[in-house]
Amino acid sequence: MIELQERPAETKSGTHDTILEARNVRVVFGNGVRAVDGISLQIYRGETIGIVGESGCGKSTLGRTLCMLQTPTHGSVVLNGSTISNMKGRRLREARKNLQMVFQDPYSSLNPRQRAGDIISEPLLLTGVDKRQRQARAHELLDLVAIGASGYSRFPREFSGGQRQRIGIARSLAANPEVVICDEPVSALDVSVQAQIVNLLVSLQRKLNLTYVFISHDLAVVRQMATRVAVMYLGRIVEIASADSIFTTPRHPYTAALLSAVPAMPSSSRKPRRIPLAGDPPSPMRIPSGCRFQTRCWLRETLDSPEICSAIDPTLSGAGDHQSACHFQHHVDARRGA
Ligand SMILES: Nc1ncnc2c1ncn2[C@@H]1O[C@H](COP(=O)(O)OP(=O)(O)OP(=O)(O)O)[C@@H](O)[C@H]1O
Ligand SMILES: [Mg+2]
């Protein structure tokens, strides 16, 4: 049998239409936190890419950078072939219409003194659309998210949490974006309401040909939504693959540990043992040298000669579209086993 050849990064997306791309993006905050520490990521038109990882690993910062709410310290963000990370003023505002964000807490992101109809159509204020057209668009969007016209004159406090998230989603769609970045959009909601919002997002994606970046620490929700998954650890993507591959055969020990903590993953081929993930991640001000995961790595413990783990910072590599930043990625699946 012939071994699968590793394909260089340039041709990996050959068959995909890339809509949004991060090229070696870094975001370093004034306090020295390397929130995003060198991420290259291509997002394909029409997909839902899940971004997962523990609290503080940089998911929101990456999401905000992808839609230029945050300027990268290094690297660039490219939308439909144009570099938007060096745009300013009007050009940037214009480009940003195509990239909208839905936030975790709809209540804090909705102005309590504004009526739902005005909240939803507000993004159109800057676009020179007149009042009548804005109202018509707000009604259309209220229907689209199944709130209905009666919601138009109500205030955020008069809606339930799920309905408020519907309003947040409607507002994100007002200017007809191609890409919607959802940052923990269901994390603040009850489980039954989560399912309704997930279903709404899926049906909107079909109707409107949307591309989603779906940020969540909840792997079960990501499993329902994502076609591809990127796993982040301390500001880096440590594994990226199709959702199926990630959930059935993880090739990074961090992913394997995250998965083992999820109760009853529906379609995993077998139930791996629970893998300990001791303590919290190190501070993003003091990222370990070599492999950044080595201080918590269960796989390293099982190796005869793990010296390379502390010596060399692994980059993403692997067969086909399944990429892992682990020197021993081919041992992960066997050793996590039952
Ligand atoms: N404006 C800021 N100034 C300084 N540090 C920041 C800022 N925003 C985020 N950070 C830090 O950057 C790191 C990444 O934060 P980020 O919010 O992107 O993580 P996250 O993965 O979204 O976490 P969570 O799951 O809790 O939402 C954290 O250490 C955080 O404290
Ligand atoms: Mg976050």
User: Could you read off the pLDDT of 277-286 as tens digits, one per residue?
Assistant: 878 899 999 9
Predicted confidence at residue 245, as pLDDT, reads 96
Q: What is the pLDDT of residue 269?
A: 54
Sort 132 into a burial class: Cβ within 10 Å, 0-12 / 13-18 / 19+.
exposed
For atom 24 of ligand 1, the residue with the nearest CA is 55
Supply the pLDDT for residue 8: 40
Q: 158 is written with which tokens?
A: 């008069």
What tens digit of pLDDT does each residue of 60-89 get?
A: 999 999 999 999 999 999 999 999 999 999
Q: Distance, CA 59 to ligand 1 centroid (Å)?
A: 8
Ligand 1 within 6 A of CB of 188:
no
Residue 274 confidence (pLDDT):
83
The mean pLDDT of 122-145, rounded to a whole number, is 92
Average pLDDT over residues 147-164: 95
pLDDT at residue 209 is higher than 70: yes
Ligand 1 closest atom vs CA 57: 21
Beta strands in the chain (DSSP E): 18-28, 34-44, 48-52, 74-79, 82-83, 99-102, 179-183, 211-215, 228-233, 236-242, 323-324
Evaluate whether 281 touches 37 at the Cβ level (below 8 Å). no
Strands 48-52 and 211-215: parallel
Say how many Å lie between the CA of residue 200 and the centre of ligand 2. Answer: 22
What percent of the chain is predicted at pLDDT more than 70?
Answer: 92
CA–centroid distance, 58 to ligand 1, in Å, is: 6
User: Closest residue (by CA) to atom 30 of ligand 1?
Assistant: 56
- What is the residue with the minimal CA distance to atom 4 of ligand 1? 29
For the stretch 261-299, pLDDT in tens is: 887 665 455 566 788 887 889 999 999 999 999 999 999
Q: Which atom of ligand 1 is nearest to the CA of 63?
A: 18
Average pLDDT of the chain is 91
Question: Alpha-carbon distance 99 to 92, whole Å?
Answer: 11
Q: Are 201 and 169 in contact (CB under 8 A)?
A: yes
Closest C-alpha to 290, from 324, 257, 325, 322: 325
Nearest CA to ligand 1 atom 18: 58
Ligand 1 atom nearest the C-alpha of 60 is: 22
pLDDT at 38 over 90: yes
pLDDT at 197 over 70: yes
Residue 211 predicted with pLDDT over 50: yes
Choice from 31, 36, 60, 103 to test ligand 1 binding pocket (greatest atom count within 8 A of CB): 60
39 lines ligand 1 (CB under 6 A): no
Report residue 247's pLDDT band, with 50, 70 and 90 as the boundaries: very high
> How would residue 14 be classed by pLDDT, with cut points 50, 70 and 90?
low
